[in-house]
Copies of this chain bind each other. A is one copy, B any other.
């Protein structure tokens, strides 16, 4: 074992150790161009023995190609984004591309920083959650000249391409289903997140469709922080104590909805007779609760899949359809009367 240099090995080291030009070593290591079987094997052997790991930084600089796809999402602890990621990874695994994740915590300034940071690595594409970005972010995306797919929402104009569901429509459809089922005293429970534009759009669509049916939201309640399940319980108690005539509760996500459901079951309240409930997301996690909460799938994995497909196609030089609207459907579960 030679005196360990601190510096890591270079192509040159492999070249010298194998008596082949750097260029040929490079070709072997990348499976590019024709190299005789004999030299190929020798080079591979030497590289492995030396424990050579290519330097992608140098490679990327020389080739002007980076096999990274920046994925920018608001949060990882939300359960929805890991599923998006899983869709993205699934597609990218078939390609040379590799996802790199950045998290914004729903903060526009942080989104800007993360985006800047990622773009400075010159990725081959960007997948970013939402259609709302700061002017600076939008400008960076535009100027980057690489494929950009905005995901999870189609209510707006994309910088480049978008894949998602219409949250306005989702809100409207849930409202219609609720009205159709005969509920009239409707409460809304959500997160205190002015920056969660998708939740906001759902709410807007929801109230709009209610209004069309001549109904107004009777009461609302918001929370922030803490365990969603526990908060769902609390909020549900609070809103019902305040407005006992409520006969339906629409939650901005399944987790607080589940908390509400557990609370009402504890109270022995008839669901969906006395009170109906609905959430949003189709969180698989919740299968196994005593009752299945009515909800609407956000097509999370599908978003990831389609977005990654667009990036992959664009990298191949194709020109796929830049707008993909996914259509979630209501799952009635056991907490929303069927009619």
Chain A interfacial positions (CB closer than 8 Å to B)? 4, 6, 8, 51, 53-58, 60-61, 66, 76-77, 79, 82-83, 85-86, 89, 98, 100-101, 103, 116-117, 119-122, 139-140, 143-145, 227-233, 255, 259, 262, 266, 284-290
Contact = CB atoms under 8 A, between A and B. Distances in A.
A7 to B, nearest CB: 8
Nearest to A120: B56
A120 B53 contact: yes
Contact of A61 (B51, B54, B61, B140): B61
A82 to B, nearest CB: 4
19 contacts: A51-B139, A51-B143, A53-B140, A53-B143, A55-B120, A55-B122, A56-B122, A57-B57, A77-B79, A77-B86, A89-B103, A100-B100, A100-B101, A228-B285, A232-B288, A255-B285, A259-B288, A262-B290, A266-B290
Number of copies: 2
Given A287-B229, A288-B262, A8 B122 contact: yes
A55 B118 CA distance: 10
Contacts of A289: 229, 262
Contacts of A54: 120
Given A86-B76, A101-B101, A288 B227 contact: yes
Given A76-B76, A289-B229, A58 B56 contact: no
Contacts of A55: 120, 122
Nearest to A117: B98
Contacts of A288: 227-233, 259, 262
Contacts of A83: 77
Contact of A77 (B82, B227, B230, B233): B82
9 tightest Cβ-Cβ pairs between the two chains A and B: A229-B288, A230-B288, A227-B287, A76-B82, A56-B120, A230-B287, A51-B143, A77-B82, A259-B288
